[in-house]
């Protein structure tokens, strides 16, 4: 009897793309061994076996996309003989009344757990009854490739994205002579990753929110002095600003909230999202219960999450449940302003541009003097459905006073 191998549930993840099979058909595996690797809309995940077994059949090819719970393979108990596997994997006989293959006609006759959801059907019509991955169908539409002319190299003749790209690269007869393409006129087709598509969808959602940004200039002279002292030993500038922002959020809870159409959800704990730039795109891992950490603890927690993000080892749950986000584009270069789109359903986001040294008028007794000071222009983007200007300016005033405290 065979059992079904399915895409596991991982928090709020809904979609996944198969990146790699680590165990091949007919190969035995042990508990904890990585069976396959998938890309979700948040990160890449290695899926491990919970117990021993034999991987009987791959039902998915690299590049195929699935929903959580979809079936991608079949496995058998350890020690199952090859002959038994072959018998179990033999297809059901075709009925004469069937005019075309049904989606289940190539599946084994005996599969356990019949109550589980089946693999999402793959469209076959345009390819003459052959299986076509979603990526291949999308690339075919983009490149004007007739799937009926493509030879599939996947299991059972399945057409993959690379098959479509190979077909599109072959010369095709043109109805009329055309001039040779100019150098550099050809473009490379780079399919979107699930993460990039998710980022795009989130940006469209965020852009529809009525968002305003309030700026306030802060003198960081006192913060740098504290950082040089024992009080700030080992803390980064970002960690110290995060500590001050968290303290301000505890006083102005309306900014530490989620927007819902029927209500605002205000949180007592601060789950701080930190925007991290990675080669695969922007991610926002979350420091849980950030109010319990001091500047040094926040520095370490932020650095650890950023390292995991850039290494691609974040778990989906590491990026869920944030109540307020800090974006720090100033760490990448001398950005003048850090206006940003929100991270819905959060109602506020603090942007930190580059720190600049500029002349400032300083009160000196009854007179004024000029001094060069390190200045930071805080940018607080907020959802105008949830917040008016008053609470936002009050938050920034509190944050400014904390950062400039001697």
3-state secondary structure of 401: helix
Same domain, 156 and 50: no
CATH code of residue 241: 3.30.559.10
Query: In the prediction, which pLDDT does 134 show?
Result: 56
Between 112 and 371, name the one with better pLDDT: 371
127 pLDDT higher than 80: no
Q: Is residue 189 part of a domain?
A: no
Query: In the prediction, which pLDDT does 216 show?
Result: 96
Same domain, 92 and 221: no
Q: What is the pLDDT of residues 4-47, one digit of tens each?
A: 888 888 776 778 889 889 999 888 899 888 899 888 766 778 88
pLDDT tier, 93 (very low <50, low <70, confident <90, very high otherwise): very low
The single residue of 192, 307, 364, 384 carrying the catalytic annotation is 384
383 pLDDT higher than 80: yes
Same domain, 42 and 157: no
Same domain, 52 and 79: yes
Query: In the prediction, which pLDDT does 336 show?
Result: 75
Measure the CA–CA gap between 74 and 28, rounded to whole angstroms: 12
DSSP result, 66-79: EETT-EEEEEE-TT
Contact 30, 15 (CB under 8 A): no
117 is catalytic: no
Mean of pLDDT values over 227-242 = 87
Q: In the beta sheet, which residues pair with residue 29?
A: 53
Query: In the prediction, which pLDDT does 194 show?
Result: 74
Among 33-47, 145-159, 171-185, 297-311, top mean pLDDT goes to 297-311
Query: In the prediction, which pLDDT does 103 show?
Result: 40
For residue 239, the enclosing domain spans 210-403
388 is catalytic: yes
Same domain, 111 and 133: no
387 pLDDT higher than 70: yes
Backbone φ and ψ of 81, nearest 5°: -70, 145
Query: In the prediction, which pLDDT does 48 show?
Result: 87
pLDDT > 90: percent of the chain: 38
Mean of pLDDT values over 93-121 = 38
For 279-313, letters b (16+ CB in 10 Å) and e give ebeebbbbbeebbebebbbbbebbeebbebbeeee
Between 162 and 303, name the one with better pLDDT: 303
Q: Is residue 200 part of a domain?
A: no
Measure the CA–CA gap between 388 and 210, rounded to whole angstroms: 11
Same domain, 144 and 253: no
Same domain, 393 and 273: yes
Same domain, 349 and 230: yes
Mean of pLDDT values over 186-213 = 85
Alpha helices in 70-193 (DSSP H): 82-89, 134-143, 161-169
Instruction: For 178-271, list the strands marked E by DSSP.
Output: 211-219, 257-259, 264-266
Mean of pLDDT values over 58-78 = 87
The single residue of 146, 307, 364, 388 carrying the catalytic annotation is 388
Mean of pLDDT values over 231-247 = 91
Query: In the prediction, which pLDDT does 112 show?
Result: 42
Q: Is residue 341 part of a domain?
A: yes
Q: What is the mean pLDDT of the chain?
A: 81
Query: In the prediction, which pLDDT does 100 show?
Result: 40
Q: Is residue 280 part of a domain?
A: yes
Same domain, 26 and 81: yes
pLDDT > 70: percent of the chain: 81
Write the DSSP symbol of residue 269.
Answer: S
Measure the CA–CA gap between 223 and 373, rounded to whole angstroms: 12
Same domain, 235 and 98: no
Same domain, 50 and 131: no
CATH code of residue 54: 2.40.50.100
Strand (E) or helix (H) holding 48: strand 44-48
Query: In the prediction, which pLDDT does 346 show?
Result: 96
Same domain, 157 and 242: no
Sign of CA dihedral 246, 250, 254, 258: positive
Q: Does residue 188 come out as left (phi exceeding 0), alpha (psi in the -120 to 50 range) or beta?
A: beta
Query: In the prediction, which pLDDT does 105 show?
Result: 38
Measure the CA–CA gap between 66 and 17, rounded to whole angstroms: 6
What's the structural domain count of the chain? 3
pTM: 0.62
DSSP result, 313-379: ---GGGGS--SEEEE-GGGTS--S-------TTBSEEEE----EEEEEEEEETTEEEEEEEEEEEEE
Between 178 and 206, name the one with better pLDDT: 206
Contact 153, 163 (CB under 8 A): yes
Q: Any idea which of 81-85, 272-276, 321-325 has the lowest mean pLDDT?
A: 81-85
């Amino acid at each position: 009897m065979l059992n079904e191998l399915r895409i596991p549930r991982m928090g709020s993840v809904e979609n996944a793309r198969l990146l790699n099979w680590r165990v091949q058909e007919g190969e035995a595996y042990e508990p904890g061994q990585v069976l396959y690797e998938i890309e979700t809309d948040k990160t890449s995940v290695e899926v491990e076996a919970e117990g021993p077994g034999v991987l009987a059949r791959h039902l998915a090819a690299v590049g195929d996309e699935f929903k959580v719970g979809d079936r991608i393979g079949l496995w058998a108990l350890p020690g199952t003989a090859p002959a038994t596997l072959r018998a179990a994997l033999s297809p059901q006989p075709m009925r004469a009344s069937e005019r075309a293959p049904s989606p289940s006609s190539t599946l084994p006759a005996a599969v356990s757990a019949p109550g589980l959801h089946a693999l999402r059907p793959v469209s076959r019509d345009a390819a003459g009854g052959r299986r076509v991955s979603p990526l291949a169908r999308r690339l075919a539409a983009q490149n004007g490739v007739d799937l009926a002319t493509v030879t599939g190299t996947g299991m059972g003749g399945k057409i993959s994205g690379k098959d479509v790209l190979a077909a599109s690269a072959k010369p095709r007869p043109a109805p009329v002579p055309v001039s040779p393409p100019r150098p550099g006129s050809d473009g490379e087709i780079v399919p979107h990753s699930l993460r990039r598509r998710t980022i795009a969808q989130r940006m469209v959602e965020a852009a529809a929110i009525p968002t305003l940004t309030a700026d306030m200039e802060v003198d960081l002279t006192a913060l740098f002095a504290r950082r040089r002292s024992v009080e700030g030993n080992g803390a980064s500038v970002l960690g110290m600003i995060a500590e001050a922002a968290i303290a301000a959020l505890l006083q102005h809870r309306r900014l530490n909230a989620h927007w819902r159409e029927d209500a605002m959800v205000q949180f007592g704990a601060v789950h701080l999202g930190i925007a991290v730039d990675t080669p695969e795109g922007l991610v926002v891992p979350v420091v849980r219960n950030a109010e319990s950490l001091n500047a040094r603890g926040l520095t370490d927690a932020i650095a650890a999450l950023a390292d995991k993000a850039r290494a691609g080892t974040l778990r989906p749950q590491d990026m869920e449940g944030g109540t307020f986000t800090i974006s720090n584009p100033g760490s990448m270069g001398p950005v003048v302003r850090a206006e940003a789109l929100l991270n819905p359903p959060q109602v506020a986001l603090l942007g930190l541009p580059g720190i600049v040294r500029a002349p400032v008028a300083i009160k000196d007794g009854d007179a004024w003097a000029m001094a060069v000071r390190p200045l930071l222009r805080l940018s607080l983007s907020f959802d105008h459905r949830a917040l008016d200007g008053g609470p936002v300016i009050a938050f920034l005033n509190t944050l400014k006073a904390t950062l400039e405290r001697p």
